[in-house]
Structure 1
């Protein structure tokens, strides 16, 4: 049996080679395609496989999210802080009280302006030789006139002061009335008063540059009798020794020149051409005979009442939902963000 197989093997190989020679030639096949068609070996459970590196953190099994942090149980629905509610309640109450106070201030300022305007329409009074300082308050904004000689040698410049955007000074000159009242002068009674003549430009500060603004002889001054002002904290102190005046301190200026503590503001009719002519010649520009008190209390009333209303709405929004029905509830809070 084994011998027959041995004899038939060369005969079968010759026949197979003859058949192959008669077959058509093979077509060209891409080796890369053949590799892709080959079956891939199964991964071995004992051999670790390389994983694809992805740029998305969610595809990384080692990614740690905030939801993986340990939660903490807290109590929700706590009652509001009493101190915070007290402060939030005090804001609208305080604003409402300030608004009511501004209403009173508005009434007071309106009556004051009306009283001053009533004094302006009256005929001017002659200024007495001796004026009681305590009575000036009852004659504030009263039109008066006085006769005498201007002491230009004791002139004082208060400044800097702005007028229509230009820098300059207020000219204050003592008015000597001893010739008008010789009987008082004989008794040694001081009749000199301070007159604020008006505003001049900065380049006319020297008296040599404004000879027309220095009248000689007897003059008649008509103006408003004014109460002394109160100095604020931000105004620098005057320096009388260096002739530097920053604030119209009536008592200090009167003591410096030896006059009464009486302040008269010279007035003139508002005239643009006359003001230009006075400015060019160095003649002081007097103030208009009108009340120049500010009355902004209506704006303050609107501001305080609006603030009171807005904070009241905020307070209502805070306390409109009490938290007593959620006393025992729990929520999960993540503290490691």
Structure 2
């Protein structure tokens, strides 16, 4: 009986000791486990999952940085391409302006009767002989006087001379061709739109007129419609103008040399085209330089 009691006491002490040791091991494991990498046995090798996850995240981050690096490089590359395109556009525009200047200063040719030939002669200088019908004047307004040198200097800018008036379009009977055409005699200020205010310039009899062939215009979005009843025209509609005056749909801008003292001022052909390509070139190449430096500083210089 005594030996049984001794055995039970010994067993209790052993269980208590094992219980305490187990608790200590559990506590240490609980505290240390989050700080230790996880291991897994696979095919006889230990694999560290904690380190593998960190390495995978770092590789993913490097991949994203590399993708961003090359995507951002598209910005300076694109702006450089746009700047180069503007260089070519400017060359094309300068050639076009030079061609228009050549046509408007060339030796005048007789006005052809073939309407198909006229379609290919816009801005070509022609000469006609006949007489004006001042009783059917048309007024294209508002207009400002053309100054070719000033317009070439200020092409593409918002500027105004401050002076407005109208262009006087007059039917002209061509005695050598037997047809009536429309001639833009030129510019008059607002105070001289009425023919009574410029009677000295209402030339009578047969005269020779040198001018530039112009074709009909398509009304632009913000240009008002022509008011036929009030004789206020805002763009060249040759069919409508011819219907009102009985003239053929043939239109020329009289040259400055055809100006009659006291009458409208000729030479009102606007041949200066918008040429803002130099500004665009500076803008795009400037953006290319700025973004290239930013890309270099972020991805190359810091290395």
Q: Shorter-chain TM-score: which interval?
A: 0.5 to 0.7
- Shifted more, 163-172 versus 307-316: the winner is 307-316
Shift of 1:84: 11
Residue in 2 that maps onto 1:334: none
For residues 90-149 of structure 1, the C-alpha deviation after alignment (integer angstroms, 9 at most, x for no partner) is 543443333233222222222223333333443211112x242x4345423322111122
After TM superposition, give the deviation of residue 222 of structure 1 in Å: 0.9
Q: Which residue of 1 aligns with 2:89?
A: 105
Of 98, 117, 121 in structure 2, the residue corresponding to residue 139 of structure 1 is 121
Structure 2 matches for 1:126-205, cutoff 5 A?
Answer: 126-128=110-112, 130-132=113-115, 134-136=116-118, 138-163=120-145, 164-177=161-174, 179-182=175-178, 191-205=179-193
Number of aligned positions between the proteins: 229
Match of 1:118 in 2: 102
RMSD: 3.6
Equivalent of residue 245 in structure 2, options 234, 242, 257: 257
Distance of 2:257 and 2:228 partners within structure 1: 32
Name the CA distance, whole Å, in 2 between partners of 1:142 and 1:314. 52
Give runs of aligned pairs for residues 207-218 of structure 1, distance below 5 A.
207-218=195-206
SS at match of 1:242: coil
Structure 1 residue 152 displacement after superposition: 1.9
Which ranges in structure 2 are unaligned for 5 or more consecutive residues?
1-56, 146-160
Identify if the C-alpha distance between structure 1 residues 317 and 290 changes in structure 2 by more than 3 Å, giving closer, same or farther: same
Give how far 1:237 is off. Answer: 1.9
Cα distance per residue 1:29-68 (max 9 Å; x no partner)? xxxxxxxxxxxxxxxxxxxxxxxxxxxxxxxxxxxxxxxx
Corresponding residue for residue 226 of structure 1: 214
TM-score (norm 2): 0.62
- Choose the corresponding residue for 2:294, options 281, 303, 314: 314
Instruction: Say if 2:219 and 2:225, in contact at 8 Å, map to a contact too.
Output: no
Map 1:215-294; keep pairs closer than 5 Å.
215-269=203-257, 278=261, 281=262, 283-287=263-267, 291-294=271-274
Q: How far apart, CA to CA, are the structure 2 residues paired with 1:232 and 1:152?
A: 29
Provide structure 1 residue ranges, at least 5 long, that are not aligned to the other structure.
Answer: 1-74, 183-190, 324-337
Q: CA deviation at 1:290?
A: 8.9
Bigger radius of gyration: 1
Match of 1:95 in 2: 79
Structure 2 CA distance for aligned equivalents of residues 95 and 146 of structure 1: 51
Shift of 1:320: 4.0
SS at match of 2:233: coil
The structural deviation recorded for 1:229 is: 4.3
1:215: how far off? 1.8
Give how far 1:170 is off. 0.8
Deviation, 1:155, is 1.2
TM-score norm. by structure 1 comes to: 0.57
Q: 1:288 to 1:200 in 2, by over 3 A?
A: closer
Structure 1 outlier segments of 4+, above 6 Å = 81-85
| 8 Å Cα contact 1:169/1:199 also seen in 2 | yes
In the alignment, what sits opposite 2:157?
none
**Structure-2 residue corresponding to 1:30:** none
Contact conserved, 1:120 with 1:290, CA < 8 A, in 2? Answer: no
1:82, distance to aligned residue in structure 2 (A):
6.8
CA contact (8 A) 2:69 2:299 kept: no
The one of the two structures with greater contact order (alpha-carbon pairs below 8 A, sep at least 6) is 1
Output one character per residue of 1:183-228: Cα deviation in whole Å (capped at 9) or x when no partner.
xxxxxxxx22221111001011112222122222222211122344
How many Å separate the matches in 2 of 1:315 and 1:250? 57
Aligned equivalents of 1:150, 1:81: Cα separation in 2? 76
